[in-house]
Chain A
Amino acid sequence: MAETVTDAQLVARCRAGDQAAWNELVERFSRYVYAIAVQGFRLQGHDAEDVFQEVFARVYERLDRLRSDEAIRPWIAQLTRRLCIDRLRAGGRESPAELEETAGVDERLAALDDALTIRAGLDAVGDPCREILDRFFCQDESYKVIGEALDLPSGTIASRISRCLTKLRSELEGRS
């Protein structure tokens, strides 16, 4: 199992000016922020990129104001949500209320929250399972491509995915 730093530990290290911790924090939450913007609020292109960068700029600026280090995740989610709504409002698109009521934003964001929990489990399981499952599920790579990239026979990839899912499931159940 890979050794994982808790969110609170990471925040404390970032606050102390640790660049490596900041890199890890951005890495840990980048997919979450991106998914909220793109899937939750359907932002695209420059709108999504601007929101993504603005979220991390504000996190960096306001880390000292976070009341509880453990609350970094809901704080980032709320910040991203607010910036997405601001962006939609600035573009004169759907009203935020209309958007949230009609487009199932809450349901999508709840699923993304679950997805981040799974992602944290994947990081805890570590490589090679992390890489195999990421390539298959997140990057949509075929058994053949994964086999070539990892120098493994493609015929063994399906069984490795299955074993890695079992391992990941055990990790997740150990957390709940």
Chain B
Amino acid sequence: MINYDEQRIGELLRLLPAVPDGWVRAAQELPQARAELAAIVARAEEDAVFRAKVVADLEAALEAEGIDPIPSVVAALRVRLEQA
């Protein structure tokens, strides 16, 4: 049971500061990023040269496609390519 006196409410509100700029937006864009990853994987399945380029440097391939190569996206692409 939370003690809802006003001082405690203030203390608790202070525990949840704003998230740094860009982090929330990046997470919100995840569905779109996943769709773009699917397009990269589909292209890699059809084009061996493109696939070799992507496998050689995942981060660079993502950047070339205009996708921010954050670790979770890179890991997702790696898994998708291994499964493809």
Q: Quick one: closest A residue to B5, CB to CB?
A: A169
Q: Quick one: closest A residue to B27, CB to CB?
A: A56
Cβ contacts B43-65/A at 8 Å (1 or 0 each) = 00000000000000000000000
Assembled-state Cα–Cα distance A114/B76 (Å) = 33
Q: What is the interface size of chain A, counting residues whose CB is below 8 A from a CB of the partner?
A: 44
Query: Of the 9-residue stretches A1-9, A47-55, A150-158, which lies at the interface with chain B?
Result: A47-55
Assembled-state Cα–Cα distance A54/B73 (Å) = 9
Q: A50-B72, A53-B72, A122-B13 are in contact. Are A172 and B4 (CB under 8 A)?
A: yes
Known: A27-B24, A60-B30, A172-B2. 4 other contacts (CB 8 A): A26-B28, A111-B12, A137-B13, A169-B5
Judging by beta carbons under 8 Å apart, are A50 and B2 in contact? Answer: no
A-B pairs under 8 A by CB, number: 107
- Residues from chain A with a CB closer than 8 A to the CB of B27 are 26, 30, 52-53, 56-57
The DSSP consensus for interface residues of chain B is helix
Judging by beta carbons under 8 Å apart, are B12 and A56 in contact? Answer: no
Judging by beta carbons under 8 Å apart, are B17 and A52 in contact? Answer: no
Q: Indicate whether A13 reaches chain B with its CB closer than 8 angstroms.
A: no
8 intermolecular pairs with C-beta atoms under 8 Å apart: A19-B31, A27-B24, A30-B19, A49-B70, A53-B26, A53-B27, A53-B72, A54-B72
